[in-house]
């Protein structure tokens, strides 16, 4: 359990390592929350599709966040 926790913390540090990464992370997660279809069930295809969509959304709009 401790190693899993350490991996999560390492990922979190990267996500918040700069203002740009923080903006992208927030946009990414907000997009996922608003558009996810996972309540109907999860598949590898759905995860990949939603992750790519959220990543592209964050990359496209992060410069607009002030």
- Chain mean pLDDT for the chain: 87
Q: Are 27 and 58 in contact (CB under 8 A)?
A: yes
Domain ranges of the chain: 2-64
Instruction: With a cut of 80, say whether residue 32 has pLDDT above it.
Output: yes
Q: What is the rounded CA–CA span in Å between residue 59 and residue 53? A: 10
Question: What is the pLDDT at residue 5?
Answer: 72
Angle between helices 2-15 and 19-35 (to 10 degrees): 110
- Work out the percent of the chain whose per-residue pLDDT is above 90: 52
pLDDT confidence of residue 1: 65
Q: What is the pTM of this model?
A: 0.73
How many residues can be counted in the chain? Answer: 66
């Amino acid at each position: 359990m401790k190693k899993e926790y350490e991996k999560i913390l390492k990922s979190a540090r990267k996500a918040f390592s700069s203002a740009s990464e923080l903006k992208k992370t927030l946009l990414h997660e907000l997009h996922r929350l608003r558009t996810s279809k996972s309540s109907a069930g999860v598949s590898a295809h759905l995860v990949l599709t939603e992750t790519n969509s959220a990543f592209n959304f964050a990359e496209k709009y992060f410069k607009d966040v002030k």
